[in-house]
Chains A and B, each alone.
Chain A
């Protein structure tokens, strides 16, 4: 029995780095400090593994790689998508492959915090690390997110109950949850504010008005006195932060909701220290944005068909390219768009030659022409991942694997494409 300490969890953007994992005879047998989803990921890592396939027939990995390269070589307008559940060297290789093949390149942020990126490019964002939140924040606002179900250890490690340097436990923090419905997160906070679905922009704008001293009445179903009280609490705290999620990015308004939230935080900094942070989902979706930005200048939704990167969300984002039926081939890396894209986009994905690189059987792999199984980053191979606050952490290899890491598979495809 081998006990591995200080293991980084490769599930969500929290990248909890205090896990302990027991390995016996090359198999993970138990975990400590892991949330239920993380535990499931570690203990189920050997289950439901993908096999190398071409056209529904099992083949060698080399044969699958050869066919993947042929598809990309022959495509006129390929799409490379995913990247967020793998490590940053693989993301780097995906950029290289996109450049070589003149592909469109997008990562899963286009369907999670892409609108956050768009808004931050317009007006900037006041940011910090999770360590600063843990040590200093006395007001935490969760808006349109549900960490109790999606970022399960966030409240105990960073935001509600941790013993920080200057803030100790829940009694020295005030926690607010703004959402369209009461969830498990609502039960952990001091105040729940129910906003009507699709009207977050209105409430954020009313809060901005209240912060500036204007009289506000009811907005988005929230009484004027509640808005005024929240505005005063925000202005009066020592160190406040808004954590926000898909409730803002996916609902009506999208990037405009985030724009309003970023500007609210900017206004609050005339009164106190206030910050904002997106709750990033996939464990290295932040890394996908970072790596694409430092290699191309753009974080997602770009295209190389002119020989240089062109950025245009709405045109080169995966859902748009697929639902408009523009791309004629796709390589999907470390994500499962068939499970998480609208059906109109999935139907086109099913109609074109698609290559999937994934450790597990995914719904996209069920539709793909080529499937290449890979090692699980953070369990079966090492690498770097970026936490939701942009801090890079080193993922460990916990067990040996017969599968190639994503980066090596991409390198082999690049060799065959002609890189």
Chain B
């Protein structure tokens, strides 16, 4: 299913970020894709099940949560999972494109959200540094 990707702050993202970005709570509150219930139904996924979001810039598996968005769009809290999908193109402004990206969403039956360690590995991949 084609969707528009929106990213931004939530209370849960802010509270869990202050507890620590390596905490389980941060993972649970930020590795989430908020879908409209009708879109989720069409995809065949329910609350807590895994979905894969893909843009031309990257792909991650997230936990589906119902509500809090419009039909045809997906909201992902700001953080490393959202930014695995966003564009570094700033069009001469310095500001990357973090909202309104075209994305594809699909169900991942039995899948698990991408972990922070997997993201860290993907960033280090090219150089093997750090």
- Residues of chain A within 8 A of B87, CB atoms compared: 342
**Interface residues of B: mostly helix, strand, loop or mixed?**
loop
Interface mask (A44-61 → B, CB under 8 Å = 1, otherwise 0): 100110000000100000
Give the complex CA separation of A41 and B14 in angstroms. 9
Q: Which residues of A contact B8 (CB under 8 A)?
A: 146, 150, 246-247
The answer to whether A37 and B14 touch (CB under 8 A), given A314-B91, A361-B22, is yes
Query: Is B24 located at the chain interface by the 8 A CB criterion?
Result: no
B92 touches A314 (CB 8 A): yes
The answer to whether A301 has its CB under 8 Å from any CB of chain B is yes
Q: Interface code A334-361, partner B: CB below 8 Å = 1, 0 otherwise? A: 0010111111111101110000000011
- Among B48-107, those with CB < 8 Å from A are 57-58, 68-70, 73, 75, 78-80, 83-84, 86-88, 90-100
A340 CA to B8 CA, complexed, in Å: 11
Q: Is the CB of A41 within 8 A of B100?
A: no
CA distance A336 to B98 in the complex (A): 16
Q: Whole-angstrom distance from the CB of A64 to the nearest CB of chain B?
A: 15
B16 → chain A closest CB, angstroms: 8
Residue from B73, B95, B125 in contact with A347 in the complex, judged by beta carbons closer than 8 Å = B125
Contact B94 A344 (CB under 8 A): no
Residues on A with beta carbons closer than 8 Å to the beta carbon of B130: 56, 350, 366-369
- Once the chains bind, are A344 and B22 in contact (CB under 8 Å)? no
Q: Residues 1-38 of chain B: 1 if any A CB is under 8 Å from the residue's CB, otherwise 0?
A: 00010111111001110111111000000000000000
Q: When A48-B19, A342-B57, A367-B124 are in contact, do A146 and B9 touch as well, CB less than 8 Å?
A: yes
A181-B75, A313-B92, A314-B92 given as contacts; is B129 within 8 A of A47 (CB)? no
Compute how far the CA of A320 lies from the CA of B93 in the bound complex, rounded to whole angstroms: 9
Instruction: Return 6 A-B CB contacts under 8 Å, by A number.
Output: A37-B14, A197-B99, A250-B7, A250-B96, A252-B97, A255-B95
Which residues of A line the B interface, CB within 8 A?
Answer: 11, 36-37, 40-41, 44, 47-48, 56, 106, 110-111, 114-115, 118, 146, 148-150, 152, 180-181, 183, 194, 197-198, 246-247, 249-252, 254-255, 281, 300-301, 313-314, 317-320, 322-323, 336, 338-347, 349-351, 360-363, 366-369
Q: Could you list which residues of chain B lie within 8 angstroms of chain A, going by C-beta atoms?
A: 4, 6-11, 14-16, 18-23, 57-58, 68-70, 73, 75, 78-80, 83-84, 86-88, 90-100, 116, 120, 122-127, 129-130
Known: A40-B15, A247-B8. 9 other contacts (CB 8 A): A44-B18, A110-B94, A114-B93, A181-B75, A281-B9, A340-B78, A342-B87, A360-B21, A361-B21
Q: Which 8 A-B pairs have the closest CB atoms?
A: A317-B94, A48-B20, A314-B92, A110-B94, A323-B88, A351-B127, A37-B14, A313-B94
